Amino acid sequence: MRIAAVCLLAAMGICGCGHKRIVRAAPPPSPSPTAVLPGQTETGLASWYGHPYHGRRASNGEIYDMEKMTAAHRTLPFNTWVRVYNLDNNKTTEVRIIDRGPFVDGRIIDLSHAAAVEIAMIGPGTARVRIEIINAPPGAVQGGLFAIQVGAYRARASAEEVRARMERQYGSARLQERPEDPGVWRVLVGTESTEEGANALAERIRRDSVEKTGGFIVRLDSNQP
């Protein structure tokens, strides 16, 4: 009887060890993205882009205007300001990041046509540059994205029905559940880069609506996809 009990305990020990071996530790949490700070620099090649992208939406939702002082970068947060030094001629320009790219090895920034003119790189097409993160220049117009909230619903199915109708009619609509108000689904229409554009869209929705209500303007997070 004692032998049987010993064997039983040994078997339980083996099973316990076997169980421990198949338990997998949870992967460590992904590190938080490093915040960008004024003074950080990067060196590489710059290029520039104009047509056919002029007039199209940039990655942050703004309409790209190649004659404004903007640029594309693969990772910097939208609305980051950078000073670009042309290492070939010592000319500089300051731009705001609104787009993603360039997706070519060795290139670190894609400048608007206007910014490329400032550092005399239109002819060559590319230039060796150093970019430095800076504070927004005094008086600079900060970018922003705006939408029209046309409703808020407890039932997601109801919100989705309205969203689909708004998207068909106005080209862009989304649902948003705010963290501070879980369970309420807001329907947001449009992605406008100025309050004037948002006001015009609200007025259009108001004219088209049977109830003659156009909702109200909300400011979106500029870093959203």
Tens digit of each residue's pLDDT (9 = 90 or more) over 123-175:
999 999 999 999 988 766 565 678 899 988 999 999 999 999 998 988 888 89
Pick the CATH number of 41-134 from 2.40.40.10, 1.10.3210.10, 2.40.50.60, 3.40.50.1100: 2.40.40.10
The 10 Å Cβ neighbour count of residue 206 is 14
Summarised one tens digit per residue, pLDDT across range 45-92 is 999 999 999 988 888 777 889 999 999 999 999 889 999 999 999 999
Summarised one tens digit per residue, pLDDT across range 87-132 is 999 999 999 998 999 988 889 999 999 999 999 999 999 999 999 9
Q: Which pair of structure tokens corresponds to residue 37?
A: 């700070």
C-alpha 69/C-alpha 48 separation (Å) is 12
Sketch the domain layout of the chain as residue ranges: 41-134, 145-220
Q: How high is the pLDDT of residue 76?
A: 93
pTM over 0.75: no
Q: Would strands 70-72 and 41-49 be described as parallel, antiparallel, or unpaired?
A: unpaired
Q: Any idea of the CA torsion for 80, 77, 197, 219, to the nearest 10 degrees? A: -110
Pick the CATH number of 145-220 from 3.40.50.300, 3.55.10.10, 3.40.50.920, 3.30.70.1070: 3.30.70.1070
Percent of the chain clearing pLDDT 90 (strictly above): 44
Grouping H, G, I as helix, E, B as strand and the rest as coil, residue 170 is helix
User: Is the bond leading into 38 cis (omega within 30 degrees of zero)?
Assistant: no
Measured over the CA atoms of residue 165, residue 217, residue 80 and residue 179, the dihedral's sign is negative
